[in-house]
Chain A
Amino acid sequence: MGEPKRHRILMVSDFFYPNFGGVENHIYYLSQCLLKLGHKVVVMTHAYGNRSGVRYMTGGLKVYYVPWKPFLMQNTLPTFYGTLPIIRTILIREKISLVHGHQAFSTLCHEALMHSRTMGCRVVFTDHSLYGFGDVGSIHMNKVLQFTLADVSQAICVSHTSKENTVLRSGLPPEKVFVISNAVDTAMFKPALERPSDNEIVIVVISRLVYRKGADLLVEVIPEVCRLYPNVRFIVGGDGPKRVRLEQMREKHSLQDRVEMLGAVPHARVRSVLISGHIFLNSSLTEAFCIAILEAASCGLLTVSTRVGGVPEVLPDDMVVLAEPDPSDMVLAINKAISILPTIDPQVMHDRMKKLYNWHDVAKRTEIVYDRALKCSNQSLLERLSRYLSCGAWAGKLFCLVVVIDFLLFRLLQLWQPAEDIEVVPDILLSQGEDKRDADKLRVFNGDQCLK
Chain B
Amino acid sequence: MAECGIFDKKYSYIHDRKWGSEAADAHHIIVRKSHAKGFLVYLSPILLLASAFHLFLFKDNITITFWNSLLIAFLVKLLLQKPVEKESVIVMPAFGVQLETHRGSKIVRRFVPIDKILKPVLSECVTPVTCYWSLSFIIRGEAELMLVFKEVCPPVKVLVPIWKALCAAIGSEGILGTPTADAP
Interface residues of A (CB under 8 A from B): 17-18, 28, 52-58, 63-68, 82, 85-86, 89-90, 93, 421, 423, 425, 440-444, 449, 451-452
Contacts and interface: CB of A to CB of B under 8 A. Distances in A.
Nearest to A267: B184
Given A423-B133, A441-B178, A66 B126 contact: yes
Interface stretch (B27-35, B63-71, B78-86, B169-177): B169-177
Given A67-B127, A443-B175, A56 B133 contact: no
Contacts of A423: 132-133, 155-157
A66 B128 contact: yes
B181 interface: yes
Contacts of B160: 449, 451
The DSSP consensus for interface residues of chain A is mixed
B123 A68 contact: no
A440 B175 contact: no
B96 to A, nearest CB: 25
The DSSP consensus for interface residues of chain B is loop
B182 A56 contact: yes
Contacts of B129: 85-86, 89
A63 B174 CA distance: 24
Contacts of A53: 123-126
Nearest to B164: A451
B126 A67 contact: yes
B4 interface: no
A443 B132 CA distance: 20
Interface residues of B, number: 27
Nearest to A426: B156
Contacts of A64: 126, 131
B71 to A, nearest CB: 23
A57 B184 contact: yes
B77 interface: no
Given A17-B184, A57-B182, A444 B176 contact: yes
B183 interface: yes
Contacts of A90: 131
Contacts of B177: 441-442
A16 B28 CA distance: 41
A28 B180 CA distance: 17
Contact of B9 (A67, A82, A421): A421
A54 B124 contact: yes
5 contacts: A53-B123, A53-B125, A85-B129, A444-B175, A452-B174
A309 B131 CA distance: 41
Nearest to B8: A421
A28 B182 CA distance: 12
A17 B128 CA distance: 19
Contacts of A451: 160, 174-175
Contacts of A56: 179-182
Contacts of B130: 85-86, 89
A18 B184 CA distance: 7
A66 B127 CA distance: 7
A168 B19 CA distance: 74
A53 to B, nearest CB: 5
Contact of A67 (B128, B175, B180): B128
A419 to B, nearest CB: 13
Nearest to B183: A58
Contacts of A85: 129-130
A95 to B, nearest CB: 14
A444 B132 CA distance: 17
A444 B178 CA distance: 12
